């Protein structure tokens, strides 16, 4: 049993937590972070229990089950499918087992598809013409008498919406921080930034303190639009651009010329290579007729990945702007948008363009060690943290989406092509992990994206392969580094600046641990390929040197099951990857980046963890607004976050270190009531946690976890 100083909090602090639980505006101060290098002296004298695979080793004093019952849990290991962290929508997946009557029996588990979150709008809508103006000075309503929204502010405040919230002391967090609130009269804290003034004629008028905070109304759509206050959000594309994209009014000349050349070159290639591949004359004939593409990769901005740059993976749903902002604050050095689909981007669809937004903290340069192996020409002052990830199933979508992104997003580190998403909807369309078996098409995509992305580098994220019995990553990595063997001498390299390998196949999903031994093999291959590319640069034509990214260096990142600083540095030192991309581990404990920076375990108290929930709520309101719609957008994504956040098992409760991401804890009581609440797997408890900061959920609000295993009701 560990000492009071290293694990247990003082009793008076533990007794104070329930008060903070009930009053969200006054949680107890964050406790001192503690370094846990292993078992304490007292614990070392005690005979340790055998570790059970798949079961988190909770100390006996915290268990609600007897140790013998805990051991039995390991015999029926339950695998949680975490594909929801990678795929944007996924059909329901069911596991089946044979019943005695020979019929297939559906087991519990899988995903809740077509989830509905209910309605959470105002009872009566307030017209935009009066939503941000003084009571007696409305704007002109373009609908006139046909408008079915309210124009009477007093009636709206009385009957059209819910009463003001009392969380945060009843004060609007946005107004407190910026002096204005972009939600105007719709804000659910509006009483804190409104006034009633009396005019000389005796009339009283309702006004917003700080003036018209939506002078640029309509400039940006979506919950919590931009307005005229700077909440630190960048890459906000105007509605007019999206409208022009939807009407096909945006000329993509670079893409059109490149795709026209590509079509002709493919015909030429087929003519000479599909007849007699072993005929040297045919090969020479093709080389003689080969015509340079209209756009070769320009001198790309150099990028850097190193030991000091832990990377936050692109995470669908969970990787939203408020969550990334929290991770950057805790030490994440590289971030990615949620995966966007290429075709909807080209069609100007709001949902996909919203994913491209970033916070200004993501536009700052990542850490780097100037005395380390930095590529020549790298300028850290021009680098930034934020990149985007897209998915596409055909080259023309990937190429045109890339040109569009590089043109309209001013804050962009790189564009990553998703070649690993295992979700059926993506895979069956020919995108995601389907590209692992279409390597020629994938190479054309990377070449084309490089040709039109201007200075923005192109990268790819892949899996080991589609099937467990056929790993294709090594062959693909060589192709991404140098190009296909038969075309290398003519076209040069595709120009892929970095490859991230997730150590699983599509078939495997998350049913087994990530294969870091295979990642290590691929890392050694990349090192050899980088050396080979430098040799080739002296022998191929001079113009082909532009096809080699980062002066001939392709970075290589590993991904899978990183859950502590021990895992991170073990992969850096033993697998020899340039950096590690962290996905689920960051959602379960966002301070993993802080652990990496400090090089130690951090036993976060329940009150400290609750401050992260509060920050997410604040950042969510800044991103989506403090009106009914914005607050419940924040609530929805906070609940998605809590579905992973609740999996965290406090370090101080474990008998063995390091913790394993796939270990599931048996039922246990935390060191205080709040710690027990934060560990609840019941989504109704997650809603209670959200209500500490976002107020009561509206009557029409619903939430279903993606995983059915989390959908149980509380007993008793």
Asked whether the beta carbons of 552 and 530 are under 8 A apart, the reply is yes
- Cβ-based burial of 482 (10 A; exposed 0-12, middle 13-18, buried ≥19): buried
Cis status, amide bond into 658, omega within 30 of 0? yes
Query: What residues does 63 pair with on adjacent strands?
Result: 668
What is the rounded end-to-end Cα distance, in angstroms, of the chain?
Answer: 33
- Cβ-in-10-Å burial (0-12, 13-18, 19+) of 637 comes to buried
Whether 519 contacts 477, CB under 8 Å: no
Helix pair 395-408, 253-273: axis angle to 10 deg: 150
Q: Rounded to an integer, what is the distance from CA 682 to the centroid of its chain?
A: 24
Structure tokens at 167: 């969380």
Backbone angles phi, psi at 476, to 5 degrees: -70, -40
Distances in Å between the Cα of 559 and the Cα atoms of 50, 82, 238, 562, 593 are: 29, 14, 35, 7, 15
Compute how many other C-beta atoms are within 10 angstroms of the C-beta atom of residue 691.
15
Indicate if 421 belongs to the active site. Answer: yes
Instruction: Give 528: exposed, middle or buried? Use CB within 10 Å, 0-12, 13-18, 19+.
Output: exposed
> How long is the chain?
716
497, 549 Cβ separation under 8 angstroms: yes
In three-state secondary structure terms, 204 is: strand
* Backbone dihedral angles phi then psi of residue 390, each to the nearest 5 degrees: -125, 160
Spatial contact of 214 and 131, defined as CB atoms under 8 Å apart: yes
- CA 473/CA 464 separation, integer angstroms: 5
Q: Tell me how far apart the alpha carbons of residues 77 and 152 are, in angstroms, rounded to a whole number.
A: 59
- The C-alpha atoms of residue 154 and residue 345 are separated, in whole angstroms, by 41
The one catalytic residue in 127, 327, 421, 522 is: 421
Active site residues per annotation: 421
């Amino acid at each position: 049993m560990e000492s009071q100083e290293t694990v247990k909090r003082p009793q008076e602090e533990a007794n104070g937590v329930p008060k903070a639980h009930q009053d969200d505006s006054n949680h107890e101060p964050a406790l001192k972070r503690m370094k846990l290098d292993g078992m304490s002296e007292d614990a070392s004298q005690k005979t340790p229990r055998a570790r059970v695979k798949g079961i988190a080793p909770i100390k006996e004093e915290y268990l609600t089950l007897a140790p013998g019952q805990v051991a039995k849990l390991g015999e029926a290991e339950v695998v949680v499918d975490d594909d929801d962290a990678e795929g944007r929508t996924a059909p329901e997946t069911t596991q089946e087992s044979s019943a005695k009557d020979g019929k297939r029996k559906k087991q519990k588990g899988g995903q809740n598809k077509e989830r509905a979150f209910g309605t959470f709008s105002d009872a009566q809508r307030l017209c935009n013409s009066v939503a941000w103006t003084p009571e007696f000075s409305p704007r002109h309503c373009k609908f006139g008498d046909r408008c079915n929204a309210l124009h009477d502010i007093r009636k709206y405040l009385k009957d059209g919406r819910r009463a003001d919230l009392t969380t945060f002391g009843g004060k609007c967090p946005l107004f407190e921080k910026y002096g204005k609130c972009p939600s105007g009269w719709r804000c659910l804290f509006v009483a804190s930034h409104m006034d009633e003034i009396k005019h000389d004629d005796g009339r009283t008028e309702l006004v917003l303190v700080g003036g018209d905070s939506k002078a640029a109304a309509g400039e940006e759509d979506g919950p919590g639009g931009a307005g005229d206050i700077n909440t630190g959000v960048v890459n906000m594309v105007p509605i007019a651009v999206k409208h022009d994209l939807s009407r096909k009014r945006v000329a993509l000349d670079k893409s059109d010329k490149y795709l026209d050349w590509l079509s002709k070159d493919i015909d030429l290639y087929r003519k000479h290579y599909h007849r007699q591949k072993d005929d040297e004359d045919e090969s020479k004939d093709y080389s003689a007729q080969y015509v340079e593409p209209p756009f070769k990769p320009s001198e790309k901005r150099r990028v850097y990945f190193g030991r000091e740059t832990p990377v936050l993976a692109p995470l669908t749903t969970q990787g939203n702007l408020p969550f990334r902002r929290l991770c950057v604050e805790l030490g994440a050095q590289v971030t990615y948008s949620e995966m966007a689909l290429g075709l909807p981007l080209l069609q100007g669809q709001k949902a996909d363009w919203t994913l491209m937004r970033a916070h200004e903290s993501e536009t700052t340069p990542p850490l780097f060690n100037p005395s380390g192996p930095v590529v020549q020409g790298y300028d850290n002052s021009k680098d930034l943290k934020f990149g985007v990830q897209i998915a596409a199933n055909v080259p023309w979508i990937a190429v045109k989406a890339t040109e569009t992104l590089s043109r309209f997003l001013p804050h962009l580190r790189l564009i990553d092509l998703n070649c690993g998403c295992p979700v059926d909807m993506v895979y069956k369309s020919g995108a995601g992990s389907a590209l692992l078996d279409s390597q020629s098409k994938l190479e054309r995509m990377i070449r084309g994206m490089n040709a039109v992305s201007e200075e923005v580098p192109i990268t790819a994220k892949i899996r080991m392969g589609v099937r467990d019995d056929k790993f294709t990553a090594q062959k693909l990595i060589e192709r991404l580094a140098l190009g296909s063997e038969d075309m290398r001498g003519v076209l040069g390299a595709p120009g892929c600046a970095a490859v991230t390998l997730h150590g699983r196949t599509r078939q495997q999903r998350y049913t087994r641990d990530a294969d870091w031994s295979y990642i290590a093999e691929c890392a050694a291959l990349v090192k050899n390929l980088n050396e080979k590319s430098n040799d080739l640069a002296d022998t191929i034509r001079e113009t082909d040197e532009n096809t080699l990214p980062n002066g001939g260096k392709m970075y290589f990142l590993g991904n899978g099951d990183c859950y502590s600083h021990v895992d991170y540095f073990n992969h850096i030192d033993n697998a020899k990857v340039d950096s590690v991309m962290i996905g689920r581990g960051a959602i379960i404990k966002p301070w993993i980046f802080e652990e990496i920076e400090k090089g130690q375990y951090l036993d976060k108290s329940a009150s400290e963890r609750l401050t992260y929930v509060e920050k997410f709520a604040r950042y969510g309101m800044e991103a989506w607004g403090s009106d009914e719609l914005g607050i419940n957008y924040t609530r929805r994504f906070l609940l998605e976050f809590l579905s992973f956040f609740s999996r965290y098992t406090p370090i101080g409760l474990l008998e063995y270190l390091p913790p394993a991401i796939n270990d599931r804890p048996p039922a246990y009581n935390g060191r205080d009531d709040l710690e027990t609440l934060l560990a609840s797997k019941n989504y109704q408890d997650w809603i209670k946690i959200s209500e500490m900061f976002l107020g009561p959920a509206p009557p029409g609000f619903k939430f279903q976890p993606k995983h059915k295993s989390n959908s149980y009701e509380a007993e008793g």
